[in-house]
Amino acid sequence: MQFWQFMFVPTILFLVIVAPIWITMHYRSVNRSSRSLNTEDRQTIEHMLATVDKLVERIGVLETILDADHPDWRYQVDHREQHRE
C-alpha cells in the first residue's frame, strides 16, 4: 500500500501536466509533417510558374509591338487613368 501512496502524486502530475503537453506536441509535429507539399502539388506549382513565365514573355512581346506601332500608347493609357480618378 505504501507504493501506491508514494506513486499517487507523481501519477497525478504526469496525467495533468506532462501527458497533455506530450499529446499536443505530438499532434503539432504530425500536422507540420503533413503540411509539406506532395509530388502532385509541386508539379502543379512548377507548371503554374512555367505558365507565368510564358505570359510575362508574351506581355513583353506585345508591349514591344505596341511601342513600334503606337509609340505613345503608354502615355494614352496613363492619361486616361488620371482622368478617371
CA distances from 24 to 7, 11, 12, 16, 33 (A): 24, 19, 18, 13, 14
**Tens-place pLDDT, residues 13-52:** 889 999 999 999 999 988 887 777 788 888 999 999 999 9
Reply yes or no on whether the pLDDT at 81 is more than 70: no
Dist CA 64 CA 49 (whole Å): 23
Whole-model pTM above 0.85?
Answer: no
Taking the C-alpha atoms of residue 41 and residue 33, their distance in angstroms, rounded to an integer, is: 15
Cell numbers found for residue 67: 511601342
Residue bearing the bigger pLDDT, 1 or 7: 7
Q: What is the pLDDT of residues 53-79, one digit of tens each?
A: 999 999 999 999 999 998 888 887 666
